[in-house]
């Protein structure tokens, strides 16, 4: 129901999106400055959005995204953060692959690929948004999810990484932990919600997760308290990433055994390895100011730029390889193997 109201609101006020805004694609490349800094190519392909200071290696703090970027693909003109998730592939019956195209959400038509990003003080559809949160600090970064997760049990360690099978652009439920098993007429939306409790000290951690925590009980949405180990309540960062899987919705092209044909760029055909990465890069205290405004979607302290400007910001590829946007490719870049079924047999 919550999601219904948000979708309704989005249709009424699509372009004044604070806390909820569109970002176009910056580049699709086999780079991962968080997990594999400097490695060109990194093990798997991502779509990256945000500030154009994005490079294969971004040393925390020294690499000041807001200072080094000249443009951003995000609607807020002061957000030079980088956000990324894996790319998605369709596997044909003959074993060749094509990359699934991406598009913006309803209300963000004209956006080049990309995703929708949220920063929330309270849960969606709480129009007051009054709970105080502390904005991220320069040098902050985190990830959520585990690309090697192979079972539902492993995936469930991460409360809120899910898929929505879009019957239409406004569909918001149900959400599933695994890839949808049937064609989705308006595509697949991947939902990623990051943990919201910070240890108050570390801008990063060796696994890029453990400086953050989920609430001690309940969830962010239920105002669950932060644990003593991670006492600082941060904004809920959420991504909605839409893949135009309907381009491949002809089931005569789907596997003969009835399984679904989509595979993450890290070789996962189950969907349990859903994960996303975040490197904070808002200018000065712009994010804190917005978070202090008690506004819902329409926040006057958020400066915005035009879709044209968002779309004109990009960086050249560092890795030059065929990623399967035009021709069918024999294997996913960097992935000789793929994991079609979960080890526990579930889907
Ligand atoms: C957004 O806020 C401004 C300033 O208060 C107001 O003029 C405008 O009508 C609002 N827009 C929406 C869609 O709520
Ligand atoms: C931004 O502009 C400056 C000055 O023109 C330039 O030196 C720098 O390389 C640019 N940065 C990016 C990421 O393009
Ligand atoms: C593999 O399958 C795709 C999709 O059906 C088709 O377009 C392509 O020509 C096939 N490639 C080969 C080598 O058979
Ligand atoms: C598949 O997508 C096409 C448009 O790309 C649409 O015309 C068709 O109705 C869709 N079929 C299903 C089963 O969703």
DSSP 104: P
pTM of the complete model: 0.90
What sign results for the dihedral spanned by CA atoms 148, 339, 187, 165? negative
Pocket of ligand 3 (CB under 6 A): 92, 94, 96, 253, 328
DSSP bridge partners of 49? 25, 83
With CA atoms as reference, report the closest residue to 282 among 84, 75, 123, 121. Answer: 75
Q: Is 218 in the pocket of ligand 4 (CB under 6 A)?
A: no
* Rounded (5°) CA angle 2-143-347: 65
pLDDT, residue 1, reads 32
Buried b (16+ CB within 10 A) or exposed e, 33-65: bbebeeeebbbbbbbbbbbbbbbbebeeeebeb
pLDDT tens per residue across span 82-104: 999 999 999 999 999 999 999 99
Q: Which ligand is nearest to the CA of 10?
A: 1
pLDDT-above-70 percentage for the chain: 91
- Under the banding of pLDDT at 50, 70 and 90, the label for residue 7 is very low
Confirm if 234 and 203 have CB atoms less than 8 A apart: no
Contact 6, 124 (CB under 8 A): yes
- β 161-165/188-193 pair status: antiparallel
Find the 321 Cα to ligand 2 centroid distance in Å: 26
Separation of CA 70 and ligand 2 centre (Å): 6
- Cβ of residue 13 lying under 6 Å from some atom of ligand 1: yes
In this prediction, what percent of the chain has a pLDDT beyond 90? 80
For residue 269, what are its two tokens? 């055909």
Chain centroid to CA 200? 24
Burial of 289: CB neighbours in 10 Å, binned 0-12, 13-18, 19+:
middle
Six-digit token string for 173: 């439920």
| CB atoms near residue 212 (< 10 Å) | 23
Question: Using CA atoms, how far apart are residues 16 and 12, in angstroms rounded to an integer?
Answer: 10
Give residue-wise pLDDT tens across range 134-163: 999 999 999 999 999 989 999 999 989 999
What's the gap in Å between 187 CA and the centre of ligand 4? Answer: 10
- Interatomic CA distance for residues 83 and 299, integer angstroms: 21
Ligand nearest to the backbone CA of 295:
1
User: For ligand 1, is residue 289 a contact (CB within 6 Å)?
Assistant: no
CB neighbours of 16 closer than 8 A, spacing ≥ 6?
Answer: 297, 298, 304
Pocket test for ligand 3, best of 97, 327, 328, 331 (most atoms within 8 A of CB): 328
Which of 27-36, 116-125, 336-345 is predicted with the least confidence, judged by mean pLDDT? 336-345
- Nearest-CA residue for ligand 3 atom 1 is 94
């Amino acid at each position: 129901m919550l999601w219904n109201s948000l979708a309704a609101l989005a249709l009424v006020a699509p372009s004044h999106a604070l806390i909820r805004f569109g970002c176009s694609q910056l580049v699709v490349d086999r780079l991962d400055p968080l997990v594999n800094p400097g490695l060109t190519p990194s093990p798997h392909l991502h779509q990256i959005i945000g500030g154009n200071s994005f490079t294969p290696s971004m040393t925390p703090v020294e690499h000041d995204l807001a200072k080094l970027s000249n443009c951003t693909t995000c609607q807020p003109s002061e957000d030079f953060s980088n956000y990324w998730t894996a790319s998605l592939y369709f596997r044909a019956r003959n074993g060749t692959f094509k990359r699934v195209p991406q598009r913006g959400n309803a209300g963000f038509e004209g956006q080049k690929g990309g995703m929708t990003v949220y920063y929330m003080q309270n849960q969606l559809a709480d129009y007051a948004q009054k709970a105080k949160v502390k904005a991220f600090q320069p040098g902050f970064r985190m990830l959520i999810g585990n690309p090697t997760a192979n079972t539902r049990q492993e995936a469930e360690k991460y409360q809120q990484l899910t898929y929505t099978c879009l019957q239409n652009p406004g569909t918001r439920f149900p959400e599933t932990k695994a890839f949808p098993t049937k064609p989705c007429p308006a595509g697949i939306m991947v939902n990623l919600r990051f943990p919201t409790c910070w240890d108050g000290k570390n801008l990063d951690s060796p696994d890029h997760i453990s400086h953050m925590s989920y609430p001690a009980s309940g969830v962010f949405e239920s105002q669950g308290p932060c644990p003593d180990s991670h006492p600082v309540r941060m904004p809920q960062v959420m991504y909605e990433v839409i893949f135009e899987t309907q381009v491949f919705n002809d089931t005569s092209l789907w596997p003969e055994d009835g399984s679904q044909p989509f595979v993450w760029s890290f070789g996962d055909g189950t969907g349990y390895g859903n994960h996303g990465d975040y490197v904070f890069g808002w200018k000065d205290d712009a994010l804190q100011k917005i978070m202090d405004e008690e506004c819902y979607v329409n926040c006057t302290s958020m400066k915005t730029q035009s879709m044209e400007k968002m779309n004109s910001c990009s960086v050249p590829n560092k890795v030059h390889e065929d990623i399967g946007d035009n021709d069918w490719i024999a294997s996913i870049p960097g992935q000789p193997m793929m994991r079609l079924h979960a080890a526990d047999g579930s889907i």
